[in-house]
Structure 1
Amino acid sequence: ELEDVEIEVEELEIQLQPVAGAPAQPLKAAVAKPAVPAKPAEILKAPFKPLIEEYPGRIREVKLGATRGEGGSRGKTVIVGGENSPSYYLFERAPPHPPAISVDVFDIPISLPKAVKTYVKEVMGDPAEWARMAVEKFGADLVTVELMSTDPLIKDAPPKEAVKTVEEILQAVDVPIIVGGCGDPRKDAEVFIEVAEVTHGERVLLSSLTLDMDEAKVLEKVARAASEHGHAVLAFTALDLNRAKELNRKLYSYVPADSIIMDLTTAALGYGLEYTFSIHERARMAALMGDEELQHPTLSGTTNAWAAREAWMKLPPEWEPRELRGPLWETVTALSLFLAGVDIFMMMHPYAIRTMKRIIKEFSSMGKAKPEKISDWVSVKI
């Protein structure tokens, strides 16, 4: 240790002695380049086992129509519902019943898009013949008779006149029928009560019962009439599951749960179809997870597709002919909701009906998917 030292030198060399015990630093060896892996000759094989879910809930089955042996006069019945998986999860299980198509028939001539009117103009003045055409020519599983004449703002036809039309259609076809009202809650209540009594035992679907009827203090009367005469009811709400559950709770007091079908509203392609798809999918999943108030089959008023201007208006050439554009609009609307799990489709155009029936037949013939086939969905060439 030096203090207060001055050193004058021309060159200073300092040597540092290594610390005892410190490891010597080895020289770095040359790093060899990694070997290039061999090109695989085949895909590694691994077992594939799809994840199968078991759901606590199940959609109730609803039967429409009644044969002679069951107290009605139908040649066949239609059963919908019964699903215990999301729509067409074929790797879990196939649906027990295929969706059904009902064709709309109106009791008075109304304004229709030209693409539809072309096929029905000869029978528009005769609802019974219109219904017969729907079954024999279009292949309808059911017929929906829309009693527009009862609307107080159109003709305000009395219930007895409406019932006569329903009776004529029952005689003209042997498939189950849906009886649609005009939308006025009080007038619909009068008509439905009369229809329920006259068609006792036929198990028709009354379309539709609403919360507006409850506000008008007529829901109980209609529901009791439907139950007393063995019919089913369509519970209509507008894209709101809470209101759908509320309406169903009210109906449970008067109608058996296996006599209720839900209409959650159909917004057409380009006019809110994504909301409709979402509400149906949410309803199905909630039902499967155990929500008993939503465990009902669903119906889509797919003919709402014709309310879209693009389905029927004359548009520039790039939109293609409206004679094809319209049925395509109806088909895409129906197909989207088919994938969301809808059980009954109300439709009009024969092309759209034919296309949907082919799709339903194809899906229904698949049965439960096999894991070995699922694993072959993706293939790679080496």
Structure 2
Amino acid sequence: VVTGVRAARSADPGHRLADLTGALAEALGVAHRLPDATGDDLTGLRGTVRQPYRPDGSLRLYGLFTEPVLTATGYAGAVTWTADADGRLYTVSDVAPGGPARATGAADRAVRIGDTSLTHRELSRAGLAVSGATVSPTGRLGAGAGVRAVRAAGASWHAEPLDRLWSVPAADQVARALDGGPDLLFLDVTLAGTVRGTTGDCLMADCAGVPLRLVTAHDDPSLPYRDNLRLLAAARGSRLRIVARLAPGPLPRVLLLATEHPTDPTARVDLGLDRLQHADLPAGAVASPAADVPAADEPPLHLLRRRVHQAVSGGRRVLALGGGASGDGARLRRLGLGTAGDLLDDLHAAAADRSRDSFGRLLPADTARFARSWLAAALYTDTVERSLCAGAWAATAEAPAPARPTEVA
């Protein structure tokens, strides 16, 4: 939270208001629950500053793909994703202070685990046998002195054990990600061309009947994500196996990370590192102009989300000035989001609540009430957005998802 506030005050180009809002909601949520928490609930709220590594014995891992890392806080490198025979994901990372050059160059450095000379790029297509492994709760492999690792055979995405990652229905993978699990999705899609959206052009695909938006994972021009996505748009009708990261929202949307080669199912492409050429596309592939798509009918949850974000960027005074005169609360109730309307009205009321003493002087504001009102609105918004996301992915061409989510009290 402190880092996010500093970035906002210094006009850091890497500042994201949505990220700061999420971090603040998480911090206030813990502070709100902590006084009354006991047992396992208290243990879960305590958290840890550093993730401990635990021994995990011997591992047989199969490379999946490598993605570059380039953060707004000045760190760069590469992360290689692997899986074991049971489908559990593990990562090998090389991230340190640096810029775009380090992000693109780290893939050709040897992985920092054991005595293996494999580079990240090689590991993504090979395998690894590890003894004395140590693993963090998120699956990151440790590189302690007792860890030994040697190169082993890899596996195709269409062969066991990696094939089972794609056998899980997309809706189940999304539900797992929204529940705090890995946010990687393993999908089989059919490319359907480019469409023009409110946030720019994106590549549409069909995923088991769900219209899916594929977007770039990083906008830095030194990374080939955008160029590769533009080329793939010309391969309309191609059936591809992909790895993507879930982008939660009311419409099915993912950040495209890796894909099998458009003309060679045995090969794979790390879209943040490898550059596709037109010769890699099927014969006759031609990019078509982006088509316009009608606006989706979705609940106007942005009316509440906008006020939650405004409170973070401008403080309670911003909401106090507007009061509840905008009628947004009434509009939310008319459209079936009664709880959202009540929370918005309460947020405005808490922001404008200032009492005076007998001499007409303003008394100190009730900051605790405003904090509770803001936290309730933030948590509600997050919960409904997750419900919308899960519902969108559960929709199929034969059974469309409902237009509005079930109310969350």
TM superposition score category, shorter chain reference: under 0.3
Determine which structure has greater relative contact order: mean sequence separation of CA pairs < 8 Å that are 6+ residues apart, divided by chain length: 1
**Which one has a larger percent helix, Structure 1 or Structure 2?**
1
Normalised by the length of structure 2, the TM-score is 0.25
Larger radius of gyration: 1
| Bigger strand fraction | 2
